[in-house]
């Protein structure tokens, strides 16, 4: 097996009540694991076996793209959170957020709106373009901004499997709750 699922850097109940231990058990323990298992199965004995995960995402399509991208997205998502990180961005990232969105509050509102407004399954992203400008993007299903030459900084999963156990149909509530567990030191390190 080329790719191993990384252990979470926190206990499974550490993100509650924003994300319950039960949701972590299913979302991390079953969904993320399945994408990584499928990825390993699909690359075995192919030209993709020697590529790193980002290269696979940029070069693959179909089932391999979907599973590689979903593996990457979920690892990125779960490593964004922490029970006791910085709850506000600082430094250059904060300056860029103020510049490109008006304020941190306005950014959070626009980000949740983009997540709520995405029809069906997918991801909402904060990305940096090659000029350093920040932008919020929506991606359906497994879509990853690396395919568009953007640098992902933050993502919220808006697939129903990410929130249905805790919030049922209330996607906006599920997304807003995530602000309580985002570790902005992690997001800043990606910027």
Question: What are the residues binding Mn ion (CB under 5 A)?
Answer: 157, 159, 162
Q: How far is the CB of 151 from Mn ion (least distance, A)?
A: 21
Q: What is the C-alpha separation between 54 and 88, in angstroms, rounded?
A: 28
> How far apart are the C-alpha atoms of 154 and 182, rounded to whole Å?
9
In Å, what is the CA distance from 171 to each residue of 2, 35, 59, 184, 191? 34, 23, 32, 22, 27
Task: Report the residue number whose CB is nearest to Mn ion.
Answer: 157
Q: Which is nearer to Mn ion, 97 or 174 (CB)?
A: 174
Which lies closer to Mn ion via its Cβ, residue 159 or residue 167?
A: 159
Q: State in angstroms the smallest separation of the CB of 20 from Mn ion.
A: 15
In angstroms, what is the minimal distance from the CB of 50 to Mn ion? Answer: 27
Minimum distance of Mn ion from residue 137's CB (angstroms) = 17
Are 137 and 125 a contacting pair, CB within 8 Å?
A: yes
Q: What one-character-per-residue DSSP string does 94-161 give? A: HHHHHHHHSSHHHHHHHHHHHHHTS-SSEEEEEEE-TTS-EEEEEEETT--GGGGT-EEEEEEE-SGG
CB of 149 to Mn ion, least distance (A): 24
* Other beta carbons within 10 Å of 191: 19
**C-beta closer to Mn ion: residue 159 or 191:** 159
Residue number, 32 or 183, with CB nearest to Mn ion: 32
16/51 with CB nearer Mn ion? 16
Angle at the Cα of 148 (from 146 to 150), degrees rounded to 5? Answer: 60
């Amino acid at each position: 097996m080329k790719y191993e699922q990384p252990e979470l850097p926190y206990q499974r109940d550490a993100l509650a009540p924003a994300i319950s231990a039960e949701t972590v058990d299913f979302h991390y323990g079953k969904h993320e694991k399945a994408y990584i298992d499928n990825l390993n199965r699909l690359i075995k004995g192919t030209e993709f076996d020697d590529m790193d995960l980002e290269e696979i995402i940029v070069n693959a399509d179909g089932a391999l793209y979907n599973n590689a991208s979903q593996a990457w997205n979920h690892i990125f998502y779960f490593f964004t959170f922490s029970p006791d990180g910085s709850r506000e961005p600082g430094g250059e990232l904060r300056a860029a957020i103020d510049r490109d969105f008006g304020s941190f509050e306005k950014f959070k509102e626009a980000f949740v709106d983009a997540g709520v407004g995405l029809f069906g399954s997918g991801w909402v992203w904060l990305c940096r373009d090659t000029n350093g400008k920040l932008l919020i993007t929506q991606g359906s299903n497994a879509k990853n901004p690396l395919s568009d030459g953007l640098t992902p900084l933050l993502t919220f999963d808006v697939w129903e499997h990410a929130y249905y156990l805790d919030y049922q149909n209330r996607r906006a509530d599920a997304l807003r709750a995530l602000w309580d567990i985002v570790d902005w030191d992690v997001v800043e390190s990606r910027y």
